[in-house]
Chain A
Amino acid sequence: MDQILIQTLHGLVNGMVLAMVASGLTLIFGIMDIVNFAHGDLLMLGAFVGASVLGVTGNYWLALLAAAVVIAVLGAALQVTTLRPLIGRDPLTTILATFGVSLVLQKYALWQWGPSVRQISEPVRGDFTLFHLQYPWYRIVTAILAGLIIAALWLFLKYGKFGIWIRATTQDRVMAQAMGIPVPLVYTAVFAIGSAMAAASGVLFGPFAGVTQTMGFDFTLRAFIVVVVGGMGNLGGSILASIFVSLLEAYAAIVVSPAQAVIVSFIVLVLTMLFRPTGLFVPTPK
């Protein structure tokens, strides 16, 4: 029983971080039909930028903000230089392009920060006792913060002028243009927002496991799984799927080792593709 409660908490915390990563990915896919294989690497770069700023200033919250801003600018520049020229081409070309960007970003990180693991020390110290376990407060703070950031994104999309532009463009790009919405700018902005969310997730996640230049791939993969399971381009679906898959993994870890528990998410992915290819959390097809 203790185990189940602990793993529920664990699954929820991981799920919230994953939801933050996936919401950026799904937003980009929904509006541009771009499968961004560099998403996890933007997260990794964000974590490195955060670690560096933290090293210099000693202020975690400043590091979080700086990482989001720096990676947003980088994301916007990437979109303008690499992806904008490919709009309207075969989706395969954008997949290859983002895959290439992913490799470049990884090698850049290796060159800039070296192969060793960087630590980001958590801003909130202390544990609380959960049954036989000392559970760090920082994980709880992370989950709440991720929840707040996702809620802010949702409010922005729902009520902001720019949010309406984004949603209109997602639904009908041609009509959005006819209404005078500057669609190329919307694309770039969405890419920047998605990148910033990834970078912030990287800084939030950093204290859990350290920062390495290969940490991105794992996140790209896991974010993809939940984006597909939740329904491509469906923000709410991706968030629910993140929590769902993370909880399943956490429960599976009770029975098998955590490394093997990852298999559960792949099983969910395959089953979803087989029986519900539009996604588990899509009530009606768009």
Chain B
Amino acid sequence: MLVLDNVDAHYGKSHVLHGVSIEVRAGEVVGLLGRNGVGKTTTLKAIMGMARRTGGRITFEGRDLHGVPPHGLAGLGIAWVPEERRIFRLLTVLENLRTGLDRPGVTPARREELLEKVYAYFPILKERRNQAGGTLSGGEQQMLAIARAMVLEPKIILLDEPTEGLMPRMVAQIQEIVHALHREGVAILLVEQNVPLTLDAAGRVYIMEKGTVRHHASSAELRADQRVIHEYLGV
């Protein structure tokens, strides 16, 4: 469904991605592991059209994403949950969700359904719906960032380090939501540093180093043979 074929990307003047090839099939959860600064986040930004792509091709359902304006990706079914969460801080929780709900083709009934759905997953958001996004705790902001992506009814979610800096209880909740989205048939490209969580959630894993993919294996293989993990991640 989402195919990165030999993608090169620059961030400013520095050459960050060197021939990255990754594929995510429909409904699949794919992990992207690697140390800090190896290009995982840039890979997601290249998909979102935010890093300057200088080579290779990115296609979604066979369509080249080159030339699709940044605001057109959500309509194709690609949602992004950035590492910094990027909650609209001065908008209330409900208004944050409305940025994804008030799009053409969503009937009022469907809107209510989607809202009830994310409120069922994250009851705390319903409680805080009239509170400014910036006043939420880190974990709540992460939930809001995921909920905001969910109301777009995406085919794939690009999930960037969702558990970074969260308490264990919150991490477990995020893990649960990843499973739930998988059951619903939403594909996920999961960038993480948390190896156990990634191996649990993802079917396949790509390991990146120095701006390129060094290793690709199923989670089962990696669980059985942890040497690769040690080699590239040092854990």
Which residues of chain A have a CB within 8 Å of any CB of chain B?
161, 164-165, 167-168, 171-172, 174-184, 286
A180→B91 contact, CB < 8 A: no
Judged by DSSP, the binding face of A is helix
A178→B74 contact, CB < 8 A: yes
Q: What are 6 A-B pairs with beta-carbon distances under 8 A?
A: A167-B91, A178-B48, A178-B71, A179-B74, A179-B148, A180-B100
Could you list 9 further interchain pairs (A-B, Cβ under 8 angstroms) beyond the known A176-B99, A179-B148, A184-B71? A165-B102, A167-B91, A168-B95, A171-B90, A174-B70, A175-B82, A177-B69, A180-B73, A180-B103
- Chain B contacts of A179 at CB under 8 A? 74, 99-100, 148, 152
Interchain Cβ contacts within 8 Å, total number: 64
Report the separation of the CA atoms of residues A231 and B227 in the bound assembly, to the nearest whole angstrom: 57
B90→A180 contact, CB < 8 A: no
B98→A161 contact, CB < 8 A: yes
B71→A164 contact, CB < 8 A: no
Q: Which of B2-40 contact A (CB under 8 A)?
A: none
A168→B99 contact, CB < 8 A: yes
- Chain B contacts of A175 at CB under 8 A? 82, 86, 88
- Chain B contacts of A168 at CB under 8 A? 88, 91, 95, 99
| Distance in Å: Cβ of A215 to nearest Cβ of chain B | 35
Which residues of chain B have a CB within 8 Å of any CB of chain A?
48, 50, 69-75, 79-80, 82, 86, 88-91, 95, 98-100, 102-103, 148, 152
| Distance in Å: Cβ of A160 to nearest Cβ of chain B | 9
A161→B88 contact, CB < 8 A: no
A180→B152 contact, CB < 8 A: yes
B70→A177 contact, CB < 8 A: yes
Residue of B nearest to A179 (CB): B99
- Chain B contacts of A178 at CB under 8 A? 48, 70-71, 73-74, 79-80, 82
**Which of B50, B90, B100 has a CB less than 8 Å from the CB of A167?**
B90
- Chain B contacts of A181 at CB under 8 A? 71, 99
B91→A164 contact, CB < 8 A: yes
| Distance in Å: Cβ of A188 to nearest Cβ of chain B | 13
A172→B88 contact, CB < 8 A: yes
| Distance in Å: Cβ of A237 to nearest Cβ of chain B | 14
Report the separation of the CA atoms of residues A228 and B90 in the bound assembly, to the nearest whole angstrom: 21
Residue of B nearest to A171 (CB): B88
Q: A164-B99, A165-B102, A174-B50 are in contact. Are A180 and B74 (CB under 8 A)?
A: yes
A161→B102 contact, CB < 8 A: yes
Report the separation of the CA atoms of residues A181 and B95 in the bound assembly, to the nearest whole angstrom: 13
Report the separation of the CA atoms of residues A105 and B53 in the bound assembly, to the nearest whole angstrom: 40
B102→A164 contact, CB < 8 A: yes
- Chain B contacts of A176 at CB under 8 A? 71, 88, 99
Residue of B nearest to A172 (CB): B86
Residue of B nearest to A176 (CB): B99
Report the separation of the CA atoms of residues A214 and B152 in the bound assembly, to the nearest whole angstrom: 49
- Chain A contacts of B98 at CB under 8 A? 161, 164
Residue of A nearest to B81 (CB): A178
Q: A180-B100, A181-B71 are in contact. Are A171 and B152 (CB under 8 A)?
A: no
- Chain A contacts of B86 at CB under 8 A? 172, 174-175
- Chain B contacts of A161 at CB under 8 A? 98, 102
- Chain B contacts of A180 at CB under 8 A? 71-75, 100, 103, 152
| Distance in Å: Cβ of B3 to nearest Cβ of chain A | 20
Q: Which of A168, A171, A176, A179 has the most CB of B within 10 A?
A: A179
Report the separation of the CA atoms of residues A175 and B74 in the bound assembly, to the nearest whole angstrom: 11
Report the separation of the CA atoms of residues A24 and B228 in the bound assembly, to the nearest whole angstrom: 58
B71→A182 contact, CB < 8 A: yes
Report the separation of the CA atoms of residues A161 and B104 in the bound assembly, to the nearest whole angstrom: 11
B102→A183 contact, CB < 8 A: no
**Which of A171, A172, A183, A286 has a CB less than 8 Å from the CB of B71?**
A183
- Chain A contacts of B102 at CB under 8 A? 161, 164-165
- Chain A contacts of B103 at CB under 8 A? 180
| Distance in Å: Cβ of A96 to nearest Cβ of chain B | 25
